[in-house]
């Protein structure tokens, strides 16, 4: 895994944490990072999700359709027109918490992948907090509509897939200098092709 290094603003962090803090490839118009990345700039200012709200977003989504963690990350990103998607480091602990609370259940699919479904207790939790859930999704739809105007759904899907692939590959670790060089080469080549269109 990555070794820690000194951050120019003081303290130390891994290159991946520094990469996320500096936004890098993932920065888009109107967005800025805060704790866990749950912040929005532009016309929306402040936090996109208040403390504990992502829990209800995930619970509502698995109530509509049993899902894998990566599917939830992608679905949230698509709903927000690609300007934000939660990290795996936030989504998977939240899913584990929901399971421990008895609000979600897990079945194992091929390859050991975890498929999350809502329990009856989870449905009761949603029902008891329906006004809050509706308000969160109304806010998400408002952000998604505002940032999605004029954007191609096909391009936004491709951007989300690209960002998710990078996040998952960095999270996996075991990146040799050769692999890092290859990733950079692929990204540079893609950028040049897009610029030449």
Model pLDDT for residues 117-129, shown as the tens digit of each residue: 999 999 999 999 9
pLDDT at 53 over 70: yes
Q: How many Cβ atoms sit within 10 Å of the Cβ of residue 114?
A: 15
What is the pLDDT of the chain when averaged over all its residues?
76
Q: What is the pLDDT of residues 177-194, one digit of tens each?
A: 998 899 999 988 988 888
Break the chain into its structural domains and give their ranges: 51-170
pLDDT value at residue 143: 81
The angle at the Cα of 163, spanning 162 to 169, to the nearest 5 degrees, equals 90
Fold (topology level) of 51-170: Arc Repressor Mutant, subunit A (1.10.10)
Q: Which residues contact 118 (CB under 8 A, 6 or more apart)?
A: 59, 62, 63, 66, 103, 104, 105, 126
User: Can you tell me the distance from the alpha carbon of 61 to that of 75, in angstroms, rounded to the nearest whole number?
Assistant: 9
Q: When comparing pLDDT for 45 and 141, which is higher? A: 141
Task: Give the per-residue pLDDT at 197.
Answer: 83
Backbone angles phi, psi at 108, to 5 degrees: -100, 125
Mean pLDDT of 100-128: 94
């Amino acid at each position: 895994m990555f070794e820690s290094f000194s951050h120019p603003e003081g303290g130390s962090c891994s290159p991946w944490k520094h990469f996320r803090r500096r936004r890098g490839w993932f920065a888009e118009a109107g967005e800025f990072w805060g704790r866990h990345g749950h912040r929005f700039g532009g016309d929306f200012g402040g936090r996109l999700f208040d403390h504990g709200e992502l829990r209800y977003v995930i619970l509502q989504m698995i109530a509509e359709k049993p899902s894998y963690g990566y599917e939830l990350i992608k679905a949230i990103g698509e709903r927000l027109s690609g300007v934000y998607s939660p990290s795996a480091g936030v989504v998977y602990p939240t899913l584990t918490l929901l399971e421990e609370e008895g609000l979600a259940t897990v079945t194992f699919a091929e390859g050991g992948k975890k498929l999350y479904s809502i329990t009856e207790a989870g449905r009761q939790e949603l029902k008891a907090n329906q006004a809050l859930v509706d308000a969160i999704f109304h806010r998400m739809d408002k952000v998604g509509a505002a940032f999605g105007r004029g954007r191609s759904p096909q391009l936004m899907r491709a951007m989300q897939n690209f960002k998710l692939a990078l996040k998952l590959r960095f999270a996996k670790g075991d990146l040799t200098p050769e692999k890092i060089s290859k990733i950079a080469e692929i990204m540079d080549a893609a950028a040049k092709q897009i610029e030449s269109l």
